[in-house]
Amino acid sequence: MSQVFYRSPKTSYPVAVRGDGVYLYDEKGKAYLDASGGAAVSCLGHQHPYVIDAIKSQLDQLSFAHTAFFTNAPQEALAERLSARFPEKNSRVYFLSGGSEANETAIKLARQFWVAGGKPDKYLIISREQSYHGNTLGALSLSGNPQRRKVYQPMLFDWPRIEPCYAYRHQFSTETEQDYGERAANYLQQEIDRVGAENVAAFIAEPVVGATLGVVPAAKGYFERIREICNKNNILLILDEVMCGAGRTGHYFAFEADNIVPDIVTLAKGLGGGYQPIGAVICRDHIHNQIVDGSGSFAHGHTYIGHATACAAGLAVMDVIEAEHLLQKVKTSGEVIRTDLAAAFGEHPFIGDIRGRGLFIGIELVQDKADKTPHANGGKVATSIKQRAMSEGLICYPGSGGADGINGCHILLAPPFIYTSSHID
């Protein structure tokens, strides 16, 4: 009997023993084509030699030095590289071990920014329905996914939430995409009016919603209007790019396609590509400065922030993305996959929508294509597809927004950026 407390205790998992490029192998030697990078993590596939070498040489030199005592070269270098990619100069980068920690950090940063700025009433974070920002209690409080919240509901803070921007389900046939985008964004203004702008610290959203809706980019104009509303009401805009960031959509930051700049952005999964656990919060200069000029320090911290080996892995992943011009490849491969999927399954009676950006692709499954009826038991349907795919040697990521009728189930594809046309076929 295993002593492991498994993620899903009733599931029996094959033992992964080896990775090689876009394949994982189990102990019986069976190969699995990785079409989802786990959950949009393994952006360079497995065992990339450059990244493995970078980690090994970092371990030979310095694996860890607590950041209460030291900084370290990989942390400095990775912060510089991320800051250079962020559209505003002098942004600051705070490193964590994953996505939930990054979002916890982002909301505390927003809160402390306002306290330091003499506005201590500002503490509310507005988020969206059907969202997922992490499993720790703070990040789960922000998340509007009913299934993930259910057991913990009494322990969660109920932040105000607005409807997500989800054209497939919410755009009226009489509206243009732009009209819909603006209407969906205006719900934020309504919510701010309801709770009072003087109480609101920030709005948080994923630019492309991953695991809860199944890869839903916002409609045109949505984020531009959101940015205007945040500015007008003196509210910070936090973008959760834990899943959609770090090149996954063909831009390094997904928000680049939306023509806006957030105040704070969070990254994780693809930042370290699964080679090391790492997340990051990037904030504009003035947020950092207001806190430093206020109390002098950020009232936060974890043992593994700025971990040297994790940052070395992140740096190596970024080197490869840049040296191999992978962002362009992500855009073109993504278009090919979406076109091929549409040709193969576009008319399928149980496939409602095929969508996405770059190598971040969602396939929404419905009971009835004509009226978009979601599966009553979406989670089970998606999981059974995952299991069947695995038995055929393919890894794809199942998801469901819950049995509340708002959305059904979907399959998420997030292949490594190094896919060739034969892998796509």
Site of interaction with ligand PLP (CB under 6 A): 39, 98-100, 103, 132-134, 206, 210-211, 240, 242-243, 268
Q: Which is nearer to ligand PLP, 243 or 354 (CB)?
A: 243
The CB-of-357 to ligand PLP minimum distance in angstroms stands at: 14
Q: Which of 209, 245, 126, 157 is nearest to 406 (CA)?
A: 209
The CB-of-278 to ligand PLP minimum distance in angstroms stands at: 9
The CB-of-146 to ligand PLP minimum distance in angstroms stands at: 16
Q: Which is nearer to ligand PLP, 115 or 211 (CB)?
A: 211
Q: Supply angle C-alpha 327, 328, 334, rounded to 5.
A: 90
SS3 letters for 125-171? EEEEECCCCCCCHHHHHHCECHHHHHHHHHHCCCCCEECCCCHHHHC
* Phi, psi (rounded to 5 degrees) for 374: -75, 160
The CB-of-279 to ligand PLP minimum distance in angstroms stands at: 6
Q: Which is nearer to ligand PLP, 72 or 103 (CB)?
A: 103
Largest CA distance in the chain: 62
Q: Which is nearer to ligand PLP, 132 or 417 (CB)?
A: 132
Q: For residues 405 and 422, what is the distance between their CA atoms, to the nearest angstrom?
A: 38
Residue nearest to ligand PLP (CB): 99
Q: Which is nearer to ligand PLP, 98 or 398 (CB)?
A: 98
Are 315 and 341 spatial neighbours (Cβ–Cβ below 8 Å)? no
For residue 59 the two structure tokens come to 């371990």
The CB-of-362 to ligand PLP minimum distance in angstroms stands at: 13
The CB-of-347 to ligand PLP minimum distance in angstroms stands at: 30
Number of helices (H) and strands (E) in the chain: give both, helices first: 15, 18
Q: Which is nearer to ligand PLP, 39 or 394 (CB)?
A: 39
Q: Hey, which bits of 278-324 come out as E strands?
A: 279-283
Q: Where are the alpha helices (DSSP H) in 248-377?
A: 269-272, 285-293, 308-323, 326-345
Q: How far apart are the first and last CA of the chain?
A: 40
Q: Which is nearer to ligand PLP, 115 or 142 (CB)?
A: 142
The CB-of-269 to ligand PLP minimum distance in angstroms stands at: 6
